[in-house]
């Protein structure tokens, strides 16, 4: 990797911060960073530019055990600053690396965490999220499953009240017919109890809302115009999946 050209340096800094610089290229770049103050400045500038985007992510509470572990780790080091602290901010990379987290040590740490981790109970965290948008990409609805037995349908941009028309929510599996989750309010948030509906959500790839007669479609399939739709993000995973990582 030649870092002579300012354009190349800046491009690599931008892709490092964006996250698309991966594997050996990422590690080589981190080596350059340690000894190149100008490059660190490039990275800092891109971080200042791009990281505010993360402010939009919906917050997720970590479990209490994380804090317990942090405290335990600090207690083990006597609550004082470790020697790694003396190398400065970008020394933090060195700090991680010396812990062995850059290479094979990472496997050991992950393996240990997998052996000790318990599957996360479904009721603790969101199971799925989806954003339903119009064809022009304007978001209308945000759907979340905060608990295994509950779907919340939140209006991003409510429709105007229209007494004669029902908004019906459908889940569409990867290959199969739409399944109705019932009529939702077009003007305010709706909570849907999904107890016993898990089969309907299974393999769901998309949510869609169609306009239907009052009370909803009588045919079991959408009959009116689809006013918004969005793919389902199954995240975070329902349970820890140890085998998928290493």
Partner 1 sequence: MADIIVNDRLASLLSQCGLGNRKAFAELYDSTKSKLFAVSLRIVRERHIAEEVLQDSFVNIWNNAAKYAAAKSAPMTWMTAIVRNRSLDIVRRPMVEVADEDDYFALNMEDATPGPADQLAAGRDRVKIERCMKGLDGEQLQTISLAFFHGLSHSEVADHLGRPLGTVKTHIRRGLQKLKGCLES
50, 18 contact by CB (below 8 A)? yes
**Tokens 């600090």, residue located:** 74
**Nearest alpha carbon to residue 131 among 237, 234, 232, 205:** 232
CA-CA distance, 3 to 24, in Å (whole number)?
A: 15
Shortest Å, Cβ 161 to partner 1: 19
Shortest Å, Cβ 188 to partner 1: 14
Shortest Å, Cβ 112 to partner 1: 10
Shortest Å, Cβ 9 to partner 1: 13
Q: Give 22 or 225: the residue with its C-beta nearer to partner 1.
A: 22
DSSP 239: S
Q: Give 137 or 218: the residue with its C-beta nearer to partner 1.
A: 137
Q: Give 26 or 34: the residue with its C-beta nearer to partner 1.
A: 26
Q: Give 81 or 225: the residue with its C-beta nearer to partner 1.
A: 81
CA-CA distance, 60 to 39, in Å (whole number)?
A: 33
Q: Give 177 or 233: the residue with its C-beta nearer to partner 1.
A: 233
CA-CA distance, 173 to 73, in Å (whole number)?
A: 45
CA-CA distance, 86 to 83, in Å (whole number)?
A: 6
Shortest Å, Cβ 115 to partner 1: 11
């Amino acid at each position: 990797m030649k870092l002579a050209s300012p354009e190349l340096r800046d491009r690599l800094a931008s892709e490092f911060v964006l996250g698309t610089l991966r594997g050996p290229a990422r590690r080589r770049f981190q080596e350059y960073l340690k000894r190149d103050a100008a490059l660190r400045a490039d990275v800092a500038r891109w971080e200042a530019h791009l990281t505010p985007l993360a402010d939009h992510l919906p917050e997720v509470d970590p479990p209490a055990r994380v804090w317990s572990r942090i405290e335990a780790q600090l207690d083990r080091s006597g609550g004082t600053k470790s020697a790694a602290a003396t190398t400065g901010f970008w020394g933090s990379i060195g700090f991680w690396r010396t812990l062995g987290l850059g290479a094979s040590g990472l496997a050991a740490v992950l393996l240990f965490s997998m052996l000790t981790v318990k599957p996360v109970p479904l009721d603790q965290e969101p199971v799925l999220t989806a954003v339903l948008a119009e064809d022009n990409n304007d978001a209308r609805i945000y759907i979340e499953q905060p608990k295994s037995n509950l779907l919340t349908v939140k209006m991003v941009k409510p429709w105007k009240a229209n007494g004669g028309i029902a908004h019906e929510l459908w889940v569409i599996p990867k290959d199969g017919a739409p399944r109705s989750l019932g009529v939702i309010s077009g003007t305010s948030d709706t909570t849907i109890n999904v107890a016993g509906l898990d089969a309907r959500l299974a393999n769901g790839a998309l949510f869609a809302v169609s306009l239907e007669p009052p009370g909803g479609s009588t045919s079991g399939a959408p009959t009116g115009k689809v006013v918004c739709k969005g793919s389902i993000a199954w995240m975070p995973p329902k349970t820890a999946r140890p085998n998928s990582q290493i």
